[in-house]
Amino acid sequence: MDKIDELWDDYLVAINGFGKPGIARAALHAEFERLQQERSGICNWTYEDNNNYWQTDCGDEFVLEDGTPKDNGMRFCVYCGKPLAEVIPPEDPENA
């Protein structure tokens, strides 16, 4: 069963006053804290000059036709939902 279904069942028990509402509320609270933790911080998008894509902190890759994520109006990582920060590594002096 999905985590959200479990929580929903707990929630129903809590609002109906059956079972152990205190425990259900604690479970919801703990899950809320966990999600907040997970979504805090930023996702760094590092530009890979050689292959012309952006490597994200959360382990994905994104190709932009033109410009930076900011140039394209992107403020959040499309994979993890955190605010995104652009990281453009300094040019390799040997290729400059």
Residues within the interface to Zn ion (CB under 5 A): 43, 56, 58, 77, 79-80
Shortest distance, CB of residue 94 to Zn ion, whole angstroms?
A: 30
Please say whether the beta carbons of 50 and 91 come within 8 A.
no
Q: Which two tokens stand for residue 39?
A: 């979504």
Among residues 38 and 71, whose Cβ is nearest to Zn ion?
38
Shortest distance, CB of residue 36 to Zn ion, whole angstroms?
A: 16
The DSSP annotation for 35-58 comes to: HHHHH-S-EEEEEETTTTEEEETT
Shortest distance, CB of residue 34 to Zn ion, whole angstroms?
A: 17
Among residues 27 and 80, whose Cβ is nearest to Zn ion?
80
Among residues 11 and 79, whose Cβ is nearest to Zn ion?
79
The two beta strands, 53-56 and 61-62, are antiparallel
Please say whether the beta carbons of 3 and 38 come within 8 A.
no
